């Protein structure tokens, strides 16, 4: 039986949260980010152009919304611009590769798959606005491939209010794994599982006793921090030090000075690639060469390695999907073929592989429903203990379990910016 950490809302249901959120949002008194931020104008959507078709049903709250005679429309709100843009763009790239692959095979039960993507720049308020627009104006069947915890926290109540499926968000936040959500279909392992693996490796492989944490000061960072603290507590340990930095900034120097004072042996970092890369580069510049740096999958592995260059050697990243160039793994082989077909110049990576797997999960759920697909049928997998195999990659769902995979993989950056699978923290390539 799978063991998963979950954050429960008690007696407050997602539907109640959604209604409350929309009322407050309309009154102009909700700030979803938890930080003081400048409002960002709504960007122009990007989408695959398709011919107008006759919808089966048009109301946005109808279970058949987004289903047309010849296509099914999915929506995505993600960072396509700004400091986290590589995450959103690669999730989009992977989803589109999966959809194109299936469309060239005739679609799903005769319908082509269409993706509408809106840029939220990794800002929670814009994510909520985009989600409402995708549901009410773009009339999407389901939402897929959202990027981030703070953005998902603001978008999920809007999706729940309309009973729209929220598929494979690129985040391991515990709140998305609450069983009271009836419209969320997670793909990946949680941040609690990733940080547990980090602490286990630091204490078992290297015998570390002084482990520090750096986190992004928002709901994403706090989710990772909580996971790290719980993993340390299970071993009767406290963090050597804790530092933080504001989201969508590179303001990491103060945290670096605070953490350096604690003389940590290892640092767990919860953040996106630009501030994480900046922190590690500065840390090595001030002499922290013997410290082991570990960060979670959300960081954006390819972008992090590119930013760090030679200074990335020996940095560990936990992953929630297989190694993206190992074509001996069936799901990876399919991904590489689909990516080469969709975008021959694209460099294979962990994020676009996760996007591809998100697209394949959506396709598998549609296939189960047949031609008479509805949102209820699409999500019915959550009501049964059932295993889906996507090219031999196993996803298991069931009552009170909306997370398909529990797998965490350890990787390390080599001297020339390449990633290598690692069995332990002692496996640093020369």
Does position 26 have pLDDT exceeding 70, yes or no? no
Residue whose token pair is 């209604």: 19
List, for residues 221-238, the tens digit of each pLDDT value: 999 999 999 999 999 999
Domains of the chain: 40-183+328-397 (3.40.50.2300), 191-319+409-421 (3.40.50.2300)
Q: Are strands 71-78 and 184-185 parallel, antiparallel or unpaired?
A: unpaired
* Residue 384: band (very low, low, confident or very high) from pLDDT cuts 50, 70, 90: confident
Average pLDDT over residues 82-86: 91
The answer to whether 77 and 143 are in contact (CB under 8 A) is yes
Does position 143 have pLDDT exceeding 60, yes or no? yes
Average pLDDT over residues 44-54: 36
Q: Are strands 292-295 and 316-319 parallel, antiparallel or unpaired?
A: parallel
- Residue 223: per-residue pLDDT: 94
Does position 59 have pLDDT exceeding 60, yes or no? no
- Residue 215: per-residue pLDDT: 98
Look up the pTM and report it. Answer: 0.84
Does position 41 have pLDDT exceeding 50, yes or no? no
Does position 140 have pLDDT exceeding 60, yes or no? yes
Apex CA 241: angle with CA 214 and CA 280, to 5°?
A: 40
List, for residues 164-209, the tens digit of each pLDDT value: 999 999 999 999 999 999 999 999 999 999 999 999 999 999 999 9
């Amino acid at each position: 039986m799978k063991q998963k950490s979950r954050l429960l809302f008690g007696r407050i249901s997602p539907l109640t949260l959604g209604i409350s959120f929309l009322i407050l949002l309309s009154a102009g008194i909700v700030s979803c980010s938890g930080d003081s931020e400048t409002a960002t104008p709504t960007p122009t959507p990007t989408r695959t152009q398709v011919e107008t078709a006759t919808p089966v049903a048009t109301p946005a709250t109808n279970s058949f919304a987004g289903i047309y005679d010849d296509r099914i429309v999915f929506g995505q709100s993600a960072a396509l611009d700004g400091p986290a843009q590589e995450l959103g763009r690669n999730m989009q790239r992977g989803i589109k590769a999966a959809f194109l692959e299936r469309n060239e095979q005739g679609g799903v039960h005769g319908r082509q798959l269409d993706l509408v993507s809106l840029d939220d720049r990794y800002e929670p308020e814009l994510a909520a606005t985009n989600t409402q627009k995708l549901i009410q104006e773009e009339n999407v069947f389901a939402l897929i491939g959202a990027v981030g915890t703070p953005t998902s926290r603001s978008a999920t109540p809007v999706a729940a209010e309309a009973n729209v499926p929220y598929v494979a968000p690129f985040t391991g936040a515990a709140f998305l794994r609450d069983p009271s959500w009836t419209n969320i279909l997670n793909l990946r392992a949680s941040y609690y599982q990733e940080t547990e693996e980090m602490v286990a490796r630091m204490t078992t492989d290297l015998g570390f006793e002084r482990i520090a944490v750096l986190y992004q000061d928002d709901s994403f960072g706090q989710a990772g921090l909580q996971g790290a603290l719980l993993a340390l507590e299970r071993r009767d340990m406290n963090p050597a030090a804790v530092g933080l930095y504001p989201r969508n900034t590179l303001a990491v120097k103060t945290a670096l000075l605070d953490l350096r004072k604690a003389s940590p042996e290892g640092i767990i970092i919860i953040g996106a690639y630009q501030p994480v890369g900046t922190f590690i580069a500065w840390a090595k510049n001030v002499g922290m060469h013997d410290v082991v740096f570990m960060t979670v999958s959300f960081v954006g592995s390819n972008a992090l390695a590119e930013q760090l260059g030679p200074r990335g050697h020996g940095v560990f990243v936990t992953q929630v999907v297989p190694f993206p160039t190992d074509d001996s793994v069936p799901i990876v082989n399919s991904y590489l073929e689909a990516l080469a077909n969709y975008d021959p110049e694209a460099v294979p990576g962990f994020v676009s592989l996760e996007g591809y797997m998100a697209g394949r999960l959506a396709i598998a759920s549609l296939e189960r429903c047949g031609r008479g697909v509805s949102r209820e049928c699409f999500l019915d997998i959550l009501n049964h203990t059932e295993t889906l195999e996507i090219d031999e990659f196993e996803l298991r769902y069931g009552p009170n379990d909306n997370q398909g995979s529990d797998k965490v993989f350890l990787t390390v950056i080599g001297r020339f910016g390449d990633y290598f699978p690692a069995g332990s923290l002692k496996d640093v390539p020369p």
